[in-house]
C-alpha cells in the first residue's frame, strides 16, 4: 500500500472515530471579524471541539461565498491548519441575514461579551447549554465586540470571568474557552439521552472522550 492510500485510510478511521462525539445542531457565529487569521483560528477551535458548523457575518466580503472556494484558498487553509477542509463554513452579508437564517431553522442564539449588555447575563460556568436543541453561539468583533442588534435578538449574554487589569481575550482564545464548556455539556447530554427534552435515556451512556493513540 502506498503512502497516500495509508493517509486516506488514516483519515477515514479518524472520521469514523470522531463521528459519535460531534455536537449536533451547534453553530459558532463570528460577527464582523476584523482579522482573517482569527477566523482561521476559530475554525480550528470549532473542528477540534466537535462543533458542527461556523457562520461568519462578513459585510466586507473577506471570505468567498462558496465553502469549496474557502477550502481551496491558502489564507484560511493555512491559519486553520487545514480545519476548513473538514468544517462547514457559511458567510452572510449582515447580522440580520444570519439571524433570519438561524431563526428560520429553529436555532436559539446566545452572545458572548465581557460586559453586561442589558440581557440575562451569566458567567460561562453558570449556563446550561443543553436546554436548547439547536444553539448558535455568537462571538463579536475583536475591535468592537458584539453588536447591539445581536444582543437584542439573543437569549442571553455569557462572559468568561476575568481577574486581571485586562478584561478581555482575543477571539481565538475566548472562542476556545467558551466552546469547550458548551461542547462538554452537550456531549455529556448526548451520552445520556438520544432525544431532546431529556427523552430517550440510554441503557448505557456513550463515552464522552476519545482516548488518544499511544505515541
Enumerate domains of the chain plus CATH numbers.
22-201 (3.40.1280.10)
Distance between start and end Cα atoms, the chain: 22
DSSP of 97-137:
HHHHHHHHTT-EEEEE-SS--SS-EEEGGG--TTSSSSEEE
Cα separation, 72 vs 133, in Å, equals 32
Lookup result for grid cell 448505557 = 204
For residue 109, report the phi and psi dihedrals to the nearest 5 degrees: -110, 145
Cα separation, 163 vs 141, in Å, equals 22
Cα separation, 173 vs 104, in Å, equals 30
Cα separation, 45 vs 39, in Å, equals 10
* pLDDT beneath 50: ranges in the chain: 1, 3
Strands 193-195, 199-201: parallel, antiparallel or unpaired by DSSP? antiparallel
Task: Residue 89: name the closest of 158, 142, 80 by CA.
Answer: 80
pLDDT tens, position by position, 60-75: 998 988 888 888 877 7
Cα separation, 155 vs 173, in Å, equals 23
- Its pTM stands at 0.90
Give the model's pLDDT for residue 1: 47
Handedness of CA 54, 60, 64, 70 (dihedral sign): negative
Amino acid at each position: 500500500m502506498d503512502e497516500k492510500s495509508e493517509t486516506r485510510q488514516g483519515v477515514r478511521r479518524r472520521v469514523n472515530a470522531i463521528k459519535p462525539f460531534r455536537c449536533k445542531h451547534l453553530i459558532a457565529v463570528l460577527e464582523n471579524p476584523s482579522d482573517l487569521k482569527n477566523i482561521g483560528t476559530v475554525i480550528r477551535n470549532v473542528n477540534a471541539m466537535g462543533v458542527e458548523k461556523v457562520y461568519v457575518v462578513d459585510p466586507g466580503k473577506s471570505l468567498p461565498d462558496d465553502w469549496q472556494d474557502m477550502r481551496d484558498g491558502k489564507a484560511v487553509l493555512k491559519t486553520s491548519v487545514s480545519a476548513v477542509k473538514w468544517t462547514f463554513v457559511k458567510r452572510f452579508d449582515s447580522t440580520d441575514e444570519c439571524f433570519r437564517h438561524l431563526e428560520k431553522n429553529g436555532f436559539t442564539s446566545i452572545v458572548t461579551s465581557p460586559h453586561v449588555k442589558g440581557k440575562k447575563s451569566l458567567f460561562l460556568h453558570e449556563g446550561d447549554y443543553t436546554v436548547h436543541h439547536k444553539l448558535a453561539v455568537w462571538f463579536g468583533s475583536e475591535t468592537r465586540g458584539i453588536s447591539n442588534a445581536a444582543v437584542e435578538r439573543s437569549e442571553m449574554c455569557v462572559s468568561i470571568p476575568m481577574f486581571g487589569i485586562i478584561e478581555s481575550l482575543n477571539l481565538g482564545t475566548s472562542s476556545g474557552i467558551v466552546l469547550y464548556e458548551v461542547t462538554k455539556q452537550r456531549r455529556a447530554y448526548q451520552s445520556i439521552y438520544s432525544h431532546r427534552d431529556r427523552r430517550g435515556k440510554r441503557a448505557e451512556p456513550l463515552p464522552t472522550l476519545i482516548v488518544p493513540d499511544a505515541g
